[in-house]
Amino acid sequence: MTDKNWLVEVELKGDSVTLIPLLEEHAESLVEAASDGKLWNLWFTNVPSSESINVYIKDALTEKNLSRALPFAVVHNSTNNIIGSTRFCNADCSNCRVEIGYTWYAKRYQRSSVNTECKYLLLGYAFDQLSAIAVEFRTHWHNHASRNAI
């Protein structure tokens, strides 16, 4: 399997959320989602603010173009609003390994079924479609909410 065809844009649809390919046009919606809880103030993770959103998206898309990431915006199906972001990252295509990270959701969707469903969609795609042999989760030691969610 080659790097060029391993990570390709895909939409992953679940019951309550849909993961859509991250685009520059999602900037305003992502900032609005991150505003619910002022998530950019969390020092141990990388959630974009209005000042950093363009760099956040540019970096994600650069990694995608280098076949090292596949970033998604998370859409809440019942409202059709973007409520966060997640991605496959640190992809090692030649060894069929990938990490799931850069995950964050608007505060009102934390501690709900959203994270479980997103991870289910990502893991299913990684193992069933990408034929990944390993999927890694990584979070900062001080990010207790994320550690508990994982």
CATH at residue 8:
3.40.630.30
pLDDT beyond 50 at 27: yes
Q: What CA–CA distance (Å, rounded) separates 39 from 55?
A: 16
* DSSP 8-state secondary structure symbol assigned to residue 123: H
* pLDDT score at 147: 57
Residue 144's φ and ψ, nearest 5 degrees, are -65, -35
What value does the mean pLDDT of the chain take? 86
pLDDT beyond 90 at 109: no
The residue behind tokens 């479980």 is 116
* Higher local confidence (pLDDT), 2 or 102: 102
The angle subtended at Cα 144 by Cα 42 and Cα 74, nearest 5°, is 65
Say what the pTM is. Answer: 0.88
Section 5-16 average pLDDT: 92
Cβ 115 vs Cβ 103: under 8 Å: yes
Print the domain residue range for 92: 3-149
pLDDT beyond 90 at 22: yes
Cβ 76 vs Cβ 109: under 8 Å: yes
pLDDT beyond 70 at 141: no
51 SS3 class: coil
* Higher local confidence (pLDDT), 14 or 138: 14
Domain count, the chain: 1
Section 75-101 average pLDDT: 94
123-137 per-position pLDDT tens digit: 999 999 999 999 987
* Higher local confidence (pLDDT), 142 or 19: 19
* pLDDT score at 11: 98
Q: What CA–CA distance (Å, rounded) separates 71 from 75?
A: 13
* DSSP 8-state secondary structure symbol assigned to residue 14: -
31-65 per-position pLDDT tens digit: 999 886 666 555 456 777 788 899 999 999 999 99
Q: What CA–CA distance (Å, rounded) separates 135 from 127?
A: 8
Question: What are the respective helix, strand and coil percentages of the chain, to the nearest 5?
Answer: 40, 25, 35
